[in-house]
A and B are shown apart, each in its own frame.
Chain A
Amino acid sequence: MAVRLTVNGEKRTVEVESDTPLLWVVRDELGLKGTKFGCGKGLCGACTVHLNGQPVRSCSTPVEMAEGGDVITIEGLTTDGDLHPLQLAWVEHGVPQCGYCQSGQIMSAAHLLQHNQSPSREDIVAAVSGNLCRCGTYSRIVAAVESVVENRAAQSSQGEA
């Protein structure tokens, strides 16, 4: 079937079987390799993308469920070559080890930050707990997200002053 999607702001149409997971459409039909295959069952979070503003496991989301939808992938967080504040924090904190899970971690955190201006540590941990990291980079992930939250707070208090 022909499936229409808006991916990272661009309208795209792909010709695939309706049950093809969104993951393989994004990776192989659209060439966006940043979204990773880890488990195929929605258990590890490496394939996390935003679909209509919600974080979803693209490995277990048939593309027909995304028809007409708005998809944001890790590549879509970078605008005009400028890294997303989370991506900058990831580099600053040296978060990645093997790095394979990090797109998914960042997408989960990005969704949190869109909807919660000042999340607590518990909020952050809850938001990323579905994202497995075999290398064990968890503490740096939380520290990186917290640094973005703190920068935000500093900026908004400057704005108020």
Chain B
Amino acid sequence: MTMNRRDFLKVTAGTSGGLVISLSLPGCAGIQTGYDEKSGDWKPDAWLELTADDQVYFTLARVEMGQGTYTGLTTLIAEELEVAPAGIKPRFAPVASEYRNPLYKLQLTGGSISVATSWQPLRVAGASARIMLINAAASVWEVSPGDCRAAEGRVMHPNGNDSLSYGRLVELAAKQKVPDEPALKPRSEWKYIGKNRGRLDAEAKSTGAPIYGIDVELEGMVFAVVTRPPRYGARVRSFDDSEARKLPGVLDVFQIERGVAVVADKYWRARKAQDAVTIEWDNSEALSVSNDQVFDSYHQAADEDPGESERREGDYNDAVERAERLVEASYEQPYLAHATLEPMNATAWYRDSGIEVWAPTQAPDLGRIAAARVTDLSPDNVTIHTTFLGGGFGRRLTNDYIEEASAVAFRMRKPVKLIWSREEDTRHDLYRPAMLHRMQASVSGDTVTGWHHQIVGPQILDWYVRNAAPAQYPWAPKFLYNTLGRVGLMAEGIATPKDHSAIEGAIEYPYRVPNLDIRHTHTDPGVPVSWWRSVGFSHNGFAVETFMDELASELGQDPYRFRRSLIDHEPRHLQVLDRAIALSQWGKPVAEGRARGLALYRSFGTYVAQVVEASVEAGEIRVHKVACAVDCGQVVNPDIVRDQIEGGVIFGLTAALYGDITFEEGQVKQSNFHDYPLMRHDQRPEVMVDIVDSEEAPTGVGEPGVPPVIPALGNALFALSGKRQRKLPLKAQV
């Protein structure tokens, strides 16, 4: 990202006589920055605060849900500020335009772009402060700033003996000129970037520190649970709370937009009282779909509508005309739940001055909208305190739980903690959409001449805009929120220019095939859907890399050689492919009863190749090894990259082996980990990760580990049995 320094640094005379420096993205302002004479603290920009007693606070504009931004982004600041990462105290950002994600124009964490988009601005922020501190010290010593240097939170005198701590310098530093183009440290001088330095949050997370949303404790807090309609879209017709109200500790039972809330002085009492409430549902607008119908409707849609052309190269129809033969396959992939281990929860407190919400959310400014929608407040009167997240994976981009907690708190006028049960979490998720992929390739001799990919299913943005639109149009009056969100055409172009959620990872088809026709047939069965770790890549990866494997097999070629011959124009693809092949000992004999499968896939700008070694034992699929090669550009923290790729592998394998949310008459059948299982310790493979040493700009690592492992496992099972599985989850016997 390139940005003119002048564009986003604004210097003005502060009201307190100090200097107010506001580092912000174009068109944004609002964070109070500058030198505070009373406290002696200096906040040079929206991200940094240096105090007279040598504390350094870093405002983290992204949330920490396990992906490591807490450590990674702090490392970027630390490197340029010349303070050890462990010496910086990160704080989660309040809602403010400065902290919006520059790509989405919303303050949200997702899409594996936190490091990529922060890489330049955070280092600039750290460097600017460092230079101003050095200039301040140089003016004290009456020496040239060029002869001073900063290290370990101090500015060192050229004489090599004297030094001044940052805390002593903040008042003077605040009066220095903000550098126009602060020189960033050369790669050779990096102390922290690219080095393993552990995770800054590891101790809190190993000692049971109360850092998650569910741990929030407020004086006089009461507990709420909500019964939601079993069928999506149903409404409360009537309810009988007479028995529930007799139970100990029950404070209130009432209807909210999303169901019936039960409030009690203790969580367990609220749960028990919930069972005593009988509710009659109005199912007139409820979802009635079953899984079979979903795929039937997809096939019908695919037959009737060839879909929107999303990428076209050459002339696919002509290639078909000339082809010796066509290869065809269709793939069905199910709905998937996020299953964050920390269930949805939020704590809200409505008072005269507004409402405060404490929540594990990936999108705090959308949380403000959610709270405003169900109270009499405007978003400006909603304060969101973001906590650590016990997993996110896209689920917490939707703030339905904040909406519920706020609605309950609006009525109760005291602090309310809402907690979802695991069953509620599984059954009232917004799911990774079920998708159908129809693939066709034209083949002549041993050459693939054309590639046709028809993606069939919904778009996620249709389900999201209700919350997102008002956050991006803060001037819009509240009564317009629903309209803003629900008018599909208007929504198009609001949050992103185009919703790529269905087609990402399909339209970037990288192999050298001259004629391409890639299409999306948009059809939506009414099941609520959302972003799920790796989003469209999660299903397109399976389609593309399974079909590539099918073609290799059709042509009697080795899956590696076949791919390699079609990707030698893409050096970064090629490199990870070759390295994963070497790491996995592809081509060498494999243990009796095992086979290997390969996939190569780029998502979120990161190149990943994976080789899975698997077997079927005692009627179960066993995954023994996964060899991964990764090119994510410049690595900020190799340990975290390795963790994210390995975690992505486990996440992807969980989907490939078990992931299946099924609807029956509009109701989700699964409820808890016995029927929506996650991969366990004793099922995990050995994961090897080879990271390419690169000086390219960094790209994301939270998601790219997920997509390729699913087809790689399917391809291994094909190599093992000779039978191709075209429906997920994969089965041991077909």
Point out residues on A near B: beta carbons under 8 Å. 16-17, 19-21, 24, 28, 31-41, 43-44, 46, 73-75, 77-78, 83, 87, 90-92, 94-103, 106, 125-126, 128-142
Contacts and interface: CB of A to CB of B under 8 A. Distances in A.
B341 A44 contact: yes
B672 A91 contact: no
A43 B423 CA distance: 12
16 contacts: A17-B248, A24-B267, A33-B212, A34-B209, A36-B390, A44-B673, A75-B207, A94-B199, A98-B65, A99-B202, A99-B211, A100-B391, A126-B682, A132-B341, A137-B647, A138-B650
Given A138-B650, A139-B687, A33 B268 contact: no
Contacts of A31: 217
A96 B205 contact: yes
Nearest to B71: A94
Contacts of A101: 341
Contacts, number: 181
A91 B207 CA distance: 10
A11 B346 CA distance: 32
Contact of A36 (B204, B342, B673, B684): B342
Nearest to A41: B672
Contacts of B678: 44, 132-134
Contact of A87 (B206, B267, B272): B206
Contacts of A19: 268
Contacts of B203: 83, 87, 91
B499 interface: no
B45 to A, nearest CB: 29
Given A134-B393, A135-B66, A137-B643, 10 more contacts: A33-B217, A38-B341, A40-B672, A41-B674, A83-B203, A87-B207, A100-B212, A103-B208, A129-B680, A138-B650
Contacts of B639: 94
Given A87-B206, A98-B65, A136 B389 contact: no
Contacts of A133: 341, 650, 678, 681
Contacts of A28: 266-267
B673 A43 contact: yes
Interface in B400-422: 419, 421-422
Most chain-B CB neighbours within 10 Å: which of A17, A19, A24, A136? A136
Contacts of B212: 33, 36, 100
Nearest to B419: A37
Contacts of B267: 24, 28
Nearest first, the 9 closest Cβ-Cβ pairs linking A and B are A34-B208, A136-B650, A99-B205, A98-B66, A100-B390, A97-B66, A74-B208, A136-B647, A33-B210
B217 A135 contact: no
Contacts of A94: 198-199, 202, 639-640, 643
B142 to A, nearest CB: 45
B633 interface: no
Contacts of A130: 680
Among B68, B267, B390, B393, max chain A CB count under 10 A is at: B390
B646 A39 contact: no
Given A46-B341, A131-B681, A34 B207 contact: yes
B679 interface: yes
A35 B269 CA distance: 19
A106 B138 CA distance: 50
B105 to A, nearest CB: 26
Nearest to A127: B681
Given A35-B208, A94-B202, A98-B341, A135 B391 contact: yes
Contacts of A132: 341, 673, 678, 680
Nearest to A29: B266
B651 interface: yes
A102 B647 contact: no
Interface string B670-695: 00111000111110101100000000
B340 interface: yes
B635 interface: no
Nearest to A73: B208
Contacts of B67: 97
A101 B65 CA distance: 13
Contact of A40 (B217, B340, B421): B421
Interface of B: 65-68, 198-199, 201-212, 214-215, 217, 248, 266-269, 272, 339-343, 388-393, 419, 421-423, 639-640, 643-644, 646-651, 672-674, 678-682, 684, 686-687
Contacts of B686: 139
A32 B208 CA distance: 8
Nearest to B652: A136
B646 A37 contact: no
A101 B339 CA distance: 13
B343 A37 contact: yes
A36 B388 CA distance: 14
Contacts of B343: 37-38
Contacts of A100: 212, 340-342, 390-391
Given A78-B207, A91-B206, A99 B66 contact: yes
B651 A134 contact: yes
Nearest to B266: A28
A96 B199 contact: yes
Contacts of A125: 681-682
Contacts of A41: 422, 672-674
Among B201, B208, B673, the most chain A Cβ lie within 10 Å of the Cβ of B208
Contacts of B269: 17
A102 B199 CA distance: 14
A136 B648 contact: yes
A74 to B, nearest CB: 4
B67 to A, nearest CB: 7
Given A37-B214, A94-B643, A98-B65, A134 B341 contact: yes
A159 to B, nearest CB: 27
B682 A97 contact: no
Nearest to A122: B682
B422 A40 contact: yes
A46 to B, nearest CB: 6
A141 B682 CA distance: 12
Contacts of A16: 266, 268
Nearest to B425: A39
Contacts of B342: 36, 38, 98, 100
B202 A36 contact: no
A95 B640 CA distance: 10
Contacts of A36: 212, 214, 341-342, 390
B719 to A, nearest CB: 24
Given A126-B682, A134-B341, A139-B646, A24 B266 contact: yes
A87 B684 CA distance: 23
Nearest to A20: B268
B325 to A, nearest CB: 41
Nearest to A101: B341
A103 B206 CA distance: 6
B650 A99 contact: no
A131 B673 CA distance: 11
Interface centre among A19, A34, A38 (most CB of B within 10 A): A38
Given A24-B266, A34-B207, A44-B673, A136 B202 contact: no
Residue of A44, A46, A77 with most chain B CB atoms under a 10 A cut-off: A44
